[in-house]
């Protein structure tokens, strides 16, 4: 990651920098910049006198200066979006160092802007996997925060979350032949060794002994014997007591099974493991922050293949927890994998379970690709998550979890149907289905990651793969008792 410097620039060093971002609606904020008076007046006139339509200009020294358009009273998402626009010309020009200039003000006045700009610079400079001959080399700029006092702990948080987001996006961007379940597990083994996490792998044979029939049904058609559940443990020194748990859907490629997806809907299904990547990215961010509590991370790694042995509609499978499920649609595989993974995670038992998944198209239809769906039987937890979404800039919307939705999942041959053939409210039905596999005395939140991919990016992220959820989930695990 980049070097972050606080108030360390003397004038000689500042004059050597060619890239500046000015965080102010006041043209006097240009005073610290090492510019000739006439050129400073020109910038004041052009940057501030012509409104937000012109918020960036080249300088005579061959550098670039931009103005952050968000003010201190704007919400975090607005700051993140503005920061992405502000850093873009600097990153496009390969800036090796960027000075972020704040006007004098009360401590904390510009914390949102500092968080947003550091996050946008670190995530924007990160290069996702590229397999062409002319893959660009990353240039990670040094960041100099100059002017007003900024909370260093907040910057540490932004840096940790940016590293977690970059990991999540890099994993999600890998093509399915590069990130098979086996290759994914090998990467996790390397991460676990590097970060001091304990790691256990439940292969199909252990899962068979445990009775995880829902998971085993999904992977039955795979030609490779590589699927399973990874359990990562973060245990800081001197901690005990029950952990909090992350559960991630890690479908490395989703064909839809025998209910085969169309070409349009199958393209991009290498990213159906985004929930697991966000879970791992969150664990990395918490590790970087020396989080004082134990955290478990459970990852359901699989493909949803086609083949002679693939599972079919009207089958009945028995989950690890003992519930029988009537299969309705093989492209609703994620909830089957998560059912057994949730039941396994609940055996510890943790104080809180958060599962993350690109689970349903109906959540995208309901919200678009700017908000994630939040589901919990505990309204307080759902609304707390919504508030943290506003605080972190990764926005969520809570959906109902009323029991009468279960009528659509009633089966004549099993305890419950996997889903309904009708797509109405499938995101709610999926959450109701998953709720059967978490004991009522464990606090549980399900996040349906509709913004996992968004053309043009989202917030401070410029890439289509967004890594949405690392900031939100990190803050949630830090603040939820």
Q: Are 334 and 217 in contact (CB under 8 A)?
A: no
| Count of beta carbons in the 10 Å neighbourhood of residue 154 | 15
Phi and psi at 26, nearest 5°, equal -105, 120
112 as an active site residue: the answer is: no
Q: Which conformational region is residue 234 in: left (phi greater than 0), alpha (psi within -120 to 50 degrees), or beta?
A: beta
Q: Which neighbouring-strand residues pair with 228?
A: 203, 301
Q: Which residues pair with 447 in a beta bridge?
A: 356, 374
Q: Which of 207, 448, 431 has its CA nearest to residue 319?
A: 207
- Residue-level length of the chain: 481
Out of 93, 261, 312, 370, the active site residue is: 261
Handedness of CA 296, 302, 304, 307 (dihedral sign): negative
Tell me which residue has tokens 């002319």: 134
Q: How far apart are CA 185 and CA 191, in angstroms?
A: 10
Cβ atoms of 291 and 198 within 8 Å: the answer is no
Q: What is the DSSP letter of 179?
A: S
**Among the residues of 93-246, which ranges form H helices?**
111-125, 152-173, 181-195, 204-210, 213-219
Q: What is the SS3 assignment for 294?
A: coil
∠ at Cα 459 (168, 113), nearest 5°? 110
Residue 318 β-bridge partners: 324
Closest CA to 184 of 127, 240, 227, 245: 227
Number of Cβ within 10 Å of residue 124's Cβ equals 21
Cα separation values, 219 from 82, 423, 455, Å: 43, 24, 31
Token couple for 369: 């690709």
Nearest alpha-carbon partner for 1 in 116, 154, 119, 131: 119
Q: Is 261 a catalytic residue?
A: yes
Asked if residue 32 lies in contact with residue 15, where contact means CB atoms within 8 angstroms, the answer is no
8 A C-beta contact, residue 312 and residue 330: yes
**Which residue in 169, 335, 395, 475 is the catalytic one?**
335
CA 282 to chain CA centroid, Å, is 8
How many Å apart are CA 331 and CA 418, to the nearest integer?
11
Q: Which residue numbers are catalytic?
A: 261, 335
């Amino acid at each position: 990651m980049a070097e972050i410097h606080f108030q360390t620039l003397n004038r000689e060093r500042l004059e050597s920098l060619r890239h500046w971002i000015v965080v102010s609606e006041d043209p006097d904020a240009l005073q610290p910049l090492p510019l000739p008076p006439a050129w400073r007046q020109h910038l004041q006139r052009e940057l501030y006198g012509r409104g937000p339509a012109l918020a960036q200009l080249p300088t005579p020294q061959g550098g670039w200066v931009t103005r952050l358009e968000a003010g201190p009273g704007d919400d975090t998402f607005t700051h993140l979006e503005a920061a992405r626009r502000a850093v873009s010309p600097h990153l496009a020009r390969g800036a090796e160092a960027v000075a972020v200039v704040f006007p004098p003000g009360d401590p904390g006045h510009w914390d949102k802007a500092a968080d947003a700009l550091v996050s946008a610079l670190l995530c924007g400079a990160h290069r996702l996997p590229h397999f062409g001959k002319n893959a660009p080399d990353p240039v990670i700029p040094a960041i100099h925060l100059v002017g007003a006092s900024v909370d260093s702990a907040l910057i540490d948080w932004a840096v940790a979350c940016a590293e977690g987001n970059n990991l999540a996006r890099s994993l999600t961007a890998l093509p399915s032949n590069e990130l098979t379940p086996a290759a994914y597990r090998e990467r996790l083994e390397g991460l676990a060794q590097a970060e001091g996490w304990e790691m256990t792998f439940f292969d199909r044979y252990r899962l068979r002994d445990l009775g995880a029939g829902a998971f085993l049904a999904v992977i039955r058609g795979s030609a490779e014997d590589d699927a399973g559940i990874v359990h990562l443990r973060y245990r800081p020194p001197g901690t005990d007591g029950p952990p909090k748990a992350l559960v991630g859907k890690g479908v490395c490629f989703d064909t839809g099974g025998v209910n085969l997806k169309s070409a349009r809907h199958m393209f991009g299904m290498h990213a159906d493991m985004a929930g697991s990547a966000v879970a791992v990215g969150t664990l990395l961010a918490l590790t970087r922050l020396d989080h004082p509590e134990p955290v478990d991370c459970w990852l359901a790694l699989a493909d949803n293949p086609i083949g002679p042995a693939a599972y079919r509609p009207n089958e009945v499978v028995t989950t690890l927890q003992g519930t029988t499920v009537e299969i309705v649609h093989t492209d609703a595989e994620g909830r089957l994998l998560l059912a057994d993974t949730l039941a396994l995670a609940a055996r510890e038992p943790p104080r809180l379970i958060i599962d993350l998944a690109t689970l349903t198209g109906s959540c995208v239809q309901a919200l678009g690709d700017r908000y994630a769906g939040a589901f919990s039987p505990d309204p307080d937890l759902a609304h707390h998550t919504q508030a943290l979404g506003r605080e972190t800039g990764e926005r969520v919307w809570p959906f109902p979890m009323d029991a009468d939705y279960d009528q659509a999942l009633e089966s004549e041959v099993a305890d419950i149907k996997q889903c309904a053939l009708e797509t109405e409210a499938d995101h709610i039905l999926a959450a109701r289905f998953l709720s059967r596999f978490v004991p009522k005395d464990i606090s549980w939140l399900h996040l349906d990651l509709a913004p996992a991919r968004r053309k043009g990016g989202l917030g401070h992220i410029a890439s289509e793969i967004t890594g949405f959820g690392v900031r939100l989930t990190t803050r949630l695990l830090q603040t939820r008792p």
